[in-house]
């Protein structure tokens, strides 16, 4: 199914049922009082996050979702049946905004989480509600209130622990294939990856994390060059960014350091918060160079970039160095989780 990470839908809650105007009529009770029941409440519309869905493509077909209307009240003080609520299933990681006000209504980050997006209308009062000492035979009733109507903007941000960042053909898809069961397309031309891919990396028993591979960035992406920066939002939930640098580019005139700095600049233009995340340097394609030359080139690139964080020399094709990388990432995530659970003093 085609990957779609943005959609616009309309939601409309059900209207409340009108109240009933009715009077008690029984044998030997010639002047029975009012007994009209209230109308039923209209059904509301909820968004429900579910696992197993990774795209908003279905909303290109069905775009309007309505709750059921409440039924009118009836005699003998009977309240009308309430309308059934409508539940709309969305992927985990969906951000919901009101299209008119741009207010963020919610962020569905776990399976089973529900969000009320349109409240059903209240049922109208029956004439029983209007009786008083001076009005013994009220004939007025309350109409049901209309349900809420909204146009919503849905934005999917994939939930991953680790994000891969780099130029096209830096080896991001090859790396995620080497360390997980994900099988994104790999080829020797730029922009082979056209949409995000997720892979679960198993480090040991009950130890795993989710890695996200997004299409490559190039200089000027913030102005729309290449595939632009529309997929960078899928890295906003990550805890660690792995910046892949090709130490053996095909173009002999290419400068890996200059290209890496361009990626960092594009990252800062998109989101300072994203640029502030821990960023590890992963120097890829060590299998294309002799061992000593690969290590020397990796040290030179790290020195020129003035990179002070962790750095790894790996090969996505042969898998060399990937085990140490995954173990280090797992330990970092476990340490971060432990710190989050420790109460601050």
- The mean per-residue pLDDT over the stretch 131-142 comes to 89
Strand order in the sheet with 45-50: 86-91, 45-50, 114-118
Fold that domain 162-341 belongs to in CATH: Rossmann fold (3.40.50)
Q: Which CATH class is domain 6-156?
A: mainly beta
Top pLDDT among 84 and 197 is at 84
Calpha distance 230→214 (Å, rounded): 10
Residue 54 pLDDT more than 50?
A: yes
Look at the pTM and tell me if it is higher than 0.95. no
pLDDT of 59 > 80? The answer is yes
Model pLDDT, residue 143: 93
Look at the chain and count its residues.
345
Number of C-beta neighbours around residue 276 at 10 A: 10
What secondary structure letter does DSSP report for 123? P
* Confidence tier at 122 by pLDDT (50, 70, 90): very high
pLDDT in the model for residue 1: 45
Q: Tens of pLDDT along 242-256?
A: 999 888 887 778 888
pLDDT in tens, 309-323: 899 998 888 888 889
Cα separation, 195 vs 188, whole angstroms? 17
pLDDT recorded at residue 90:
93
Q: Is the pLDDT of residue 209 over 80?
A: yes
314 phi/psi in degrees, rounded to 5 = -135, 170
With 90 as the cut, is the pLDDT of residue 113 above it?
A: yes
The tokens of 94 are what? 């969906």
Residue 199 has pLDDT above 70, yes or no: yes
Say which range, 1-10, 15-24, 86-95, has the weakest mean pLDDT: 1-10
Report the pLDDT value the prediction gives residue 237, as an integer from 0 to 100: 85
pLDDT at 44: 96
In this prediction, residue 169 carries a pLDDT of: 79
Q: Is the pLDDT of residue 83 over 70?
A: yes
- Say what the pLDDT of residue 171 is: 82
Q: Is the pLDDT of residue 217 over 90?
A: no
Asked if 12 and 43 count as a contact pair (C-beta separation under 8 A), the reply is: no
Phi, psi of 114 (to 5 degrees): -120, 150
Cα–Cα distance between 33 and 23 in angstroms, integer? 6
Sign of the alpha-carbon torsion through 318, 164, 284, 2: positive
Beta bridge pairs of residue 240: 162
Specify the pLDDT at position 185.
60
Residue-wise pLDDT for 30-41, tens only, equals 778 899 999 999
CB neighbour list of residue 166: distance below 8 Å, 6 or more residues apart: 172, 216, 217, 243, 244, 245, 246, 263
Q: 324 is written with which tokens?
A: 């140490």
pLDDT of the residue at 197: 79
CA distance 161 to 239: 5
Instruction: Count CA atoms closer than 13 A to 198's CA, side-chain side.
Output: 17
Strand partners, 34: 23
In which residue are the tokens 């039923």 written? 40
Rounded Cα gap, residues 119 and 59, in angstroms: 21
% the chain with pLDDT above 90:
36
CA dist., res. 315 & res. 323, Å (int): 11
| Structure confidence at residue 229 (pLDDT) | 65
- Which residue ranges does the chain devote to CATH 3.40.50.300? 162-341
Nearest residue to 79 (alpha-carbon basis) of 147, 132, 149, 141: 141
* C-alpha distances in Å from residue 67, one per residue of 62, 70, 100: 15, 9, 21
For the chain, residues classed under CATH 2.70.210.12 are: 6-156
Mean of per-residue pLDDT scores for the chain: 86
Q: Is the pLDDT of residue 15 over 90?
A: yes
pLDDT of residue 224: 62
Query: What pLDDT is attached to residue 145?
Result: 94
């Amino acid at each position: 199914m085609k990957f779609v990470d943005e959609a616009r839908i309309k939601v409309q809650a059900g209207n409340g049922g009108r109240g009933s105007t009715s009077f008690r009529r029984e044998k030997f009770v010639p002047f029975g009082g009012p007994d009209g029941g209230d109308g039923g409440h209209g059904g509301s519309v909820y968004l429900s996050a579910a696992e197993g869905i990774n795209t908003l493509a279905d909303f290109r077909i069905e775009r309007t979702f309505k709750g059921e209307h409440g039924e009118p009240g009836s005699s003998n003080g009977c309240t009308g049946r309430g309308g059934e609520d409508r539940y709309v299933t969305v992927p985990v990681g969906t951000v919901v905004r009101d299209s008119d006000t741009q207010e963020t209504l919610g962020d569905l980050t776990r399976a089973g989480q529900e969000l009320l997006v349109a409240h059903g209308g209240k049922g109208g009062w029956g004439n029983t509600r209007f009786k008083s000492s001076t009005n013994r035979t009220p004939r007025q009733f309350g109409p049901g209130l209309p349900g809420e109507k909204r146009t919503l903007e849905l934005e999917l941000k994939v939930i991953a622990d680790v994000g891969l960042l780099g130029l096209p053909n830096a080896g991001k898809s090859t790396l995620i294939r080497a360390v997980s069961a994900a099988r994104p397309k790999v080829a020797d031309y730029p922009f082979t990856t056209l949409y995000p891919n997720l892979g679960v990396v198993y480090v040991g028993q009950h130890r795993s994390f989710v890695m996200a591979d997004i299409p490559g960035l190039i200089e000027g992406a913030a102005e729309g060059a290449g595939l632009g920066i529309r997929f960078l939002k899928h890295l906003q939930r990550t805890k660690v960014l792995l910046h892949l640098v090709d130490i053996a580019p095909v173009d002999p005139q290419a400068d890996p350091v200059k290209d890496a700095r361009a990626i960092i600049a594009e990252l800062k233009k998109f989101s300072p918060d994203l640029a502030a995340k821990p960023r590890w340097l992963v120097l890829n394609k060590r299998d294309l160079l002799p061992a000593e030359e690969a290590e020397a080139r990796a040290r030179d690139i790290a020195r020129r970039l003035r990179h002070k964080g962790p750095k790894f020399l790996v090969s996505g094709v042969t898998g060399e160095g990937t085990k140490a990388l995954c173990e280090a990432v797992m330990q970092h995530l476990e340490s971060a989780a432990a710190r989050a659970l420790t109460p601050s003093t």
